[in-house]
Amino acid sequence: MAFVTETYRPKLSLRDRAAEMIKSYRERAEQRRIFRQTVSELQGLSARELSDIGIHYSMIESIAHESAYGTN
């Protein structure tokens, strides 16, 4: 037997859609800022300092990505 489920989703006004779009843009911009800042700070460390904290130079971007966007 087949069931049809309809969910009511109220239509958002133009103002609400614009607000959601701006909010989404700001969140993505903040994530990009965190990514760039993390990469910059880690690249500023010497090989010795990176080694002391258990990071290889090749891991910098993946660490920054995880920091900004969550798990890989």
Q: Encode pLDDT of 27-62 as tens digits.
A: 999 999 999 999 999 999 999 999 999 999 999 999
The confidence score (pLDDT) of residue 23 equals 96
Query: Taking the mean position of all CA atoms in its chain, how far away is CA 37?
Result: 13
C-alpha angle with apex 11: 7 to 13, nearest 5 degrees? 160
C-alpha angle with apex 47: 43 to 53, nearest 5 degrees? 85
CA distance 22 to 24: 5
**DSSP H helices in 1-72:** 14-43, 47-52, 60-69
Supply 52's token pair.
């002391």
pTM for the predicted model, two decimal places: 0.75
